[in-house]
Amino acid sequence: MIAKQKEFCKLLKKSNNYDINRKRNGENKIKMKNIKNYNLEELKQELISLGEKPFRAEQIFNWLYKEKVKEFDEMTNLSLELREKLKQNYTMCNFNILKKQESSDGTKKYLFDVLDGNAIETVLMQYHHGKTICVSSQIGCKMGCKFCASTGIAFIRNLTTGEIVEQVLAVEQDIGESISNIVFMGIGEPFDNYENVMKAVRLINHPKGLNIGARHISISTSGVVPRIYDFANEDLQCTLSISLHATNNEKRSQMMPVNNAYPIEELMQACRDYIAKTNKRISFEYALAKDNNDNLQDAKELVKLLKGMICHVNLIPINPIKNGKFAKSSNENIIKFRDYLNEHGIVATIRRELGSDIDAACGQLRRNNFEEKSKNE
């Protein structure tokens, strides 16, 4: 166990949560508390500490998540005195759009300024069942997956609860419509920012929050095994997605260094234990890379690996990245792979390719922005 912890620590350097710092009128940065970091009970305690009645917290929640206002002065059923207290002590963490790309298929990719000089990426996707948003959980990522555009750019920090929720609010404001589905599959490893992600999920799901059903929320992990066990105890109806991408340790470790800490055998056992405890289906993500993990033998090994599990396999045509070593598998191989899984009792579908005419790969827009800034410095 000690050896595994040491191995994982090579990937996961301890990170700190940050308060949001904002510049006002060119003054020095003033440390402000992000009001969207608080759940309803916590916000009630904040109001009490300000000498206010706790029911004001529900009014503020309504303004934030139902009316979706951007300024405290818009909260017109609060007294002027309370609004002034809020302005003096809290920020609403309203993101600015640094860049936005729109695909011919309706996909929109956002680069948001998180108000401390850093940027994060969020993606809006259009499906027949509604609008889905892919949110980031960290600024950068420690996992080092070889097919991800975030690899090679330094990890900065975890996103706070409010910064995760704000991605949803910012996109809704931009498009003028509500989001129906959320996937935690953007930049970062959600289970490496576990507490903030779980808190954000509950805020998003809360009836007085964004009120998005838990069954419409998916959380993806590269395979941080201890957190899979923690998640099984959360009593949430969210979907757990596992980024698998290979069927043996040799290939998976080459693609995903986290496998050196938590090899496939341990990951699969954690998945089986999760299903046994929750009776919920797991979605396995499998990015098909040409001449790497896309042949018939890989399909056979995947069937053997997942046999008897309540699961679904989401086959992903890999998005090539700049200087990346993996190329997209051929359409013929992808279809053959899917058909073999379905014929042998493993439900598999091919993820619809979206945003192929923009920076489609996860983290690509942020990476391009980072490289542009570096050239100009």
The answer on pLDDT for 2 being more than 60 is no
- For residue 362, indicate whether it is catalytic: yes
Domain boundaries 33-91, corresponding CATH code: 1.10.150.530
What is the pTM (predicted TM-score) of this model?
A: 0.88
Q: For the chain, how far is it from start to end, CA to CA, in angstroms?
A: 44
Query: Are 346 and 311 contacting, i.e. CB atoms less than 8 angstroms apart?
Result: yes
* Among 141, 238, 271, 362, the one annotated catalytic: 362
The answer on pLDDT for 24 being more than 60 is no
Give the pLDDT confidence score for residue 30 in this predicted structure: 40
Does the domain at 96-376 match CATH 3.20.20.70? Answer given as yes
Between 29 and 364, residue with greater pLDDT? 364
Q: Mean pLDDT over all residues of the chain?
A: 88
The answer on pLDDT for 47 being more than 60 is yes
The answer on pLDDT for 43 being more than 90 is yes
Cα 41 from chain centre: 25
The average pLDDT across 292-320 equals: 94
Token pair, residue 12, equals: 């996961």
| Segment 233-279, tens digit of pLDDT | 999 999 999 999 999 999 999 999 999 999 999 999 999 999 999 99
The answer on pLDDT for 17 being more than 50 is no
| Segment 99-123, tens digit of pLDDT | 999 988 889 999 999 989 899 999 9
Between 146 and 72, residue with greater pLDDT? 72
% of the chain at pLDDT higher than 70: 84
Q: How far apart are CA 70 and CA 169, in angstroms?
A: 10
> Of 71-80, 107-116, 284-293, 363-372, where does mean pLDDT reach its minimum?
363-372
Q: How far apart are CA 365 and CA 358, in angstroms?
A: 9
Give the pLDDT confidence score for residue 355 in this predicted structure: 53
DSSP letter at 255 equals H
Which among 159, 152, 151, 68 is positioned nearest to 114, based on CA atoms? 159
Q: How far apart are CA 240 and CA 282, in angstroms?
A: 5
Give the pLDDT confidence score for residue 327 in this predicted structure: 85
User: Domain extents for the chain?
Assistant: 33-91, 96-376
* Among 121, 163, 166, 285, the one annotated catalytic: 121
Cα torsion for 241, 244, 247, 253, to the nearest 10°?
A: -150
- For residue 7, indicate whether it is catalytic: no
| Segment 51-81, tens digit of pLDDT | 999 999 999 999 999 999 999 999 999 999 9
